[in-house]
Amino acid sequence: MMRRFFYPRRTRRDTQTDVDEELRFHLDSRQQDLVARGETNSDARLQALREFGDLDDAREYLRNIDQEIESLRRRKDYMSDLLQDLRFAMRSLGSDASIIRQSLILGGEAYRVLSVMPPQFTFPATTVEIHLPFSTIPDNAIPRIRPVRIMNVVARLAPGVTPEQARAEMTSITRELATRYPESNAVQRLVIQRGMLLAVTGAAAGIGSALLLSRYIEGLLYGIASTDVMTYVSVAVALPLIAGAASLIPARRASRVDPLVALQPE
């Protein structure tokens, strides 16, 4: 967590100030050098500006790129902090019931441990080992990588409520949400989009490495150039289509998942 203090977050305004200060330093230094060579102050400034080129354009470009660098760094910091915390928590606290009601720092946020699930408990997502209370996830702790997120929630039935009652209520809530937010309720479309994104990224990476590597196998290819455009294009087009079709199956399954199935211990 200490790293957060050493790398203070820079705001949009700071980025602009930094860029301005860097450019001002350049122009002032150049001006001083020219004055030392006998130019007048104003002539030196003019020459420094002329040598620089389009100052406003550079200012804009540098500010944008600095903001990108900053958000990349922020995302990377957050992920590595979180991973480190999780690894620590799993190693030192895993399966120890005495941690209940103690607090735990994850990604810079403090959480209180409410309960430890029995080992045979099956979560809806099998790769997740720590669950956070729904209401206490701070919004800024979720990196905004995609505009929409899929969220799995595990809940405990209130005393006296049967699974059937809960199921009926969930169904009516789902229906109401679907009519109120038709835009964000497209689970099926979402899963397909995510599948497609994977495929497109994969295709881009694949074509990149293929272009780099294919010249080494040039001698082994017969009747086709190592950079045959048609081959690249057809693979690039076919792959996302196949991925889209393949995503349909999990997509349909995801949109049909019964929320209560996940709520019952084995």
Partner 1 sequence: MAHEPMDLLQGTLDVLILRALAWGTMHGYGVSRWIHERTDGTIAIEDAPLYKALHRLEKAEFVLAEWGLSENNRRARYYRLTPLGRKQLRAQEANWRRYAAAVFRVLEPA
Q: For partner 1, which residue of 64, 84, 122, 136 counts as binding (CB under 8 A)? A: 64
Q: For partner 1, which residue of 68, 169, 218, 258 counts as binding (CB under 8 A)? A: 68
* Contacts of 157 by beta carbon, 8 Å cutoff, 6+ apart: 163, 166, 263
- Longest CA–CA span in the chain (Å) reads 92
Single-letter amino acid code for the residue at 238: A
Nearer to partner 1, 21 or 176 (CB): 21
Residue in this structure with the two tokens 């305004």, named with its chain if needed: 13
21 binds partner 1 per the rule CB under 8 A? yes
Residue in this structure with the two tokens 């029995």, named with its chain if needed: 118
Nearest distance, CB of residue 21 and partner 1, angstroms:
6
Q: Quick one: angle between helices 55-93 and 12-36, nearest 10?
A: 130
The interface region with partner 1, picked from 4-12, 18-26, 101-109, 220-228 by CB under 8 A, is: 18-26
For partner 1 (CB under 8 A), the number of binding residues is: 25
Residue in this structure with the two tokens 């405990």, named with its chain if needed: 156
61 binds partner 1 per the rule CB under 8 A? yes
Residue in this structure with the two tokens 């607090």, named with its chain if needed: 103
Nearest distance, CB of residue 141 and partner 1, angstroms:
25
Residues at the site binding partner 1, with contacts judged by CB under 8 A:
18, 21-23, 25-26, 28-30, 32, 51-55, 57-58, 61-62, 64-66, 68-69, 72
